[in-house]
Amino acid sequence: MKKTNIVLIGFMGCGKTSVGKKVGHKTGYKFIDTDVYIENSEKMAVSEIFAQKGETHFRRLEKELCLSLSEKSGHVIATGGGIIKSAENAENLKKNGIIVYLKASPHHINKNLFKDNSRPLLSGGNKKEKIKILMFERQLLYESTADITISVSNKSKEKIAENIIKEVRKFDKNMRNTRPKP
């Protein structure tokens, strides 16, 4: 496989981090989680960044990171669920990456995040309703940004990781075959 990055996008709680780590192990690619990278550089949790410095600041950090990630190769990148709201981010991630959308139903997300309080955009009020609304707003964006879409509901993390590698290999090969010969 060419050392193109594998970029995982999708809604909060769809499994980008845990599946991404598995894909990293299986391929030998290095794993990066954009939220963790930002948390380490700011020395605080995403929820604290939102509370103390604001979402705009967080989005600015995401933007800077996407720009630097466009220079990298051989990485599996698990992105924050809102990263593709910026067309510039999507463009940068695509420069050297195949974009894989991990598609999950609101029910699946709700099940995964039932006890989770680390997502500021879902905190306070009716979480189930917030997930539905935000997913409705973003669904098309995830789909139009993705090169590959993989449904994650009712699949084990192992199976999803295997699916991703298989589909990325197929996509990568087709891309090479359709490029004009020098």
Other CB atoms within a 10 A radius of the CB of residue 144 amount to 10
Which residues 69-108 are close enough to bind ligand S3P by CB under 6 A? 80-82
Task: Please classify residue 89 by burial: count the beta carbons closer than 10 Å to its beta carbon, then call 0-12 exposed, 13-18 middle and 19+ buried.
Answer: buried
Indicate the residue among 46 and 180 with the shorter CB distance to ligand S3P. 46
d(C-alpha 58, C-alpha 65), whole Å: 11
User: For tokens 């993989």, what's the residue?
Assistant: 150
Q: Does 121 bind ligand S3P (CB under 6 A)?
A: yes
Residue 120 touches ligand S3P, criterion: CB under 6 A: yes
Candidates 8, 32, 46, 135; binder of ligand S3P (CB under 6 A) is: 46
Q: Which residues contact 45 (CB under 8 A, 6 or more apart)?
A: 39, 118
Q: Judged by CB, which is closer to ligand S3P: 47, or 73?
A: 47
Considering only residues 14 through 43, tell me which ones interact with ligand S3P, judged by CB under 6 A. Answer: 16, 35
Q: Is 67 in the site for ligand S3P (CB under 6 A)?
A: no
Which tokens go with 72? 């990298």
Residues that bind ligand S3P (CB under 6 A): 12, 16, 35, 46, 80-82, 119-121
